[in-house]
Amino acid sequence: MYENASNATILMLLHTAVYPFLAALIVSVVAGRWLHASPYLGYLGGFIVGLSLIHSGLSFPPSQAIDYYNITALVGIASVLCLTMMKQSTLRNIINSVLFALSFYLLLNPVLQHSGLIPSLSWAVGSAIVVSLYQVLSEKVQDSIQQQVRSKRNLPPLLLLIGLMIVAGSAAPVISIGGSLLIGQLLGAFSVAVFGYVTISYLTKTLQNHTSIPALLILGGLITQSHVLADIPLGVMLMLAASSFVTPISILLSSKVSSKKSLIIAIQIISSSLISGLSLWLVWPASSLY
């Protein structure tokens, strides 16, 4: 019995951490160096690998709420293409807002459809507004970084993704203990996949703008699904979502980004740790976990 439990733990660790990380490394290198494609496909590829291993019933076309992360990844790619190819800011923001709402609608509607169309649309629109706000902040952050940082060897362009990676990692135990081991594992897989991409991007100095948007769509989907699918308290969900904004706000408030990158990362780690600790206290089950 103990041997089976040990094997199951090792397998869960491989699916949640090791394989997504390796996949992110491989896809990042292949996409960035050999295919001359967007290297952020690395963390999307790593997450999809983790998704397929953790969610054994993954299907395409999607049939369950979790399956729609395939579509979320495609929506994220379309959003980045829109941001990089369209010059007219108003039009691209409108298109992206529609794409964001579509992503959240597909992720949440399979569960909310029993409550009617209005709740599904309300959640989709509300979530899209939050992501759109982050997008506006991220564009201001990138403008600030471009003005202050000239060398591609510096870390700041990756700070937004590092912030989301920390948020996902701190949210994983909260969601796992609070209601859904599946979503908790997916948060862990997402976090390590982003870490793999960040590692390769930093080492190869391959940096791009807007790479945090697909990541935010996936992270936002996991956090909102934890409330809708796993009954994580709304207050906990809002705190986890709010922690995603710590890094961009810290960057905008910093006058010298390149000299304060360690402080910004430290602020994100501390704030996410405090929120995670409080959230664990709020969701900890009354009865024993065993």
Does residue 290 sit within a domain?
Answer: no
Residue 255 has a pLDDT of: 59
Does residue 162 sit within a domain?
Answer: yes
Q: Which two tokens stand for residue 179?
A: 């209601």
Q: Is the pLDDT of residue 51 over 70?
A: yes
Residue 148 has a pLDDT of: 59
Q: Contact at 8 Å (CB) between 18 and 49?
A: no
Does residue 289 sit within a domain?
Answer: no
- Over residues 42-62, mean pLDDT: 78
The mean pLDDT of the chain is 80
Phi, psi of 19 (to 5 degrees): -65, -45
- Over residues 71-99, mean pLDDT: 84
Residue 244 has a pLDDT of: 92
Does residue 198 sit within a domain?
Answer: yes
- Over residues 253-281, mean pLDDT: 82
Phi, psi of 242 (to 5 degrees): -65, -30
Residue 243 has a pLDDT of: 92
Res. 290 pLDDT band, cuts 50 70 90: very low
207-211, long-range: CB within 8 Å, 24+ apart, which pairs?
Answer: 207/152, 207/157, 207/158, 208/38, 208/39, 208/40, 209/83, 209/84, 209/142, 209/157, 210/79, 210/80, 210/83, 210/84, 210/138, 210/139, 210/142, 211/38, 211/40, 211/80, 211/160, 211/161
- Over residues 100-116, mean pLDDT: 83
- Residue 66 DSSP class: G
Query: Within 13 A of 227's CA, how many CA atoms are on the CB side?
Result: 18
- Over residues 87-116, mean pLDDT: 83
Close Cβ partners of 191 (under 8 Å, ≥ 6 residues apart): 165, 166, 168, 169, 172
Q: Is the pLDDT of residue 275 over 90?
A: yes
Dump pLDDT digits (tens) for 15-48.
Answer: 666 767 777 777 777 776 666 567 677 888 888 8
Res. 2 pLDDT band, cuts 50 70 90: very low
Does residue 142 sit within a domain?
Answer: yes
Burial of 87 per CB tally in 10 Å (0-12, 13-18, 19+): exposed
Does residue 241 sit within a domain?
Answer: yes
Burial of 175 per CB tally in 10 Å (0-12, 13-18, 19+): buried
The rounded Cα 210 to chain-centroid distance in angstroms is 13
Does residue 229 sit within a domain?
Answer: yes
CA trace torsion 242, 247, 253, 259 (10° rounding): 160
Q: Is the pLDDT of residue 252 over 90?
A: no
Does residue 89 sit within a domain?
Answer: yes
Res. 164 pLDDT band, cuts 50 70 90: very high
Burial of 201 per CB tally in 10 Å (0-12, 13-18, 19+): buried
- Over residues 258-272, mean pLDDT: 83
Domain count, the chain: 1
Q: Is the pLDDT of residue 270 over 90?
A: yes
Max mean pLDDT range (9-13, 86-90, 217-221): 217-221
Residue 153 has a pLDDT of: 43
Domain that holds residue 78: 1-282
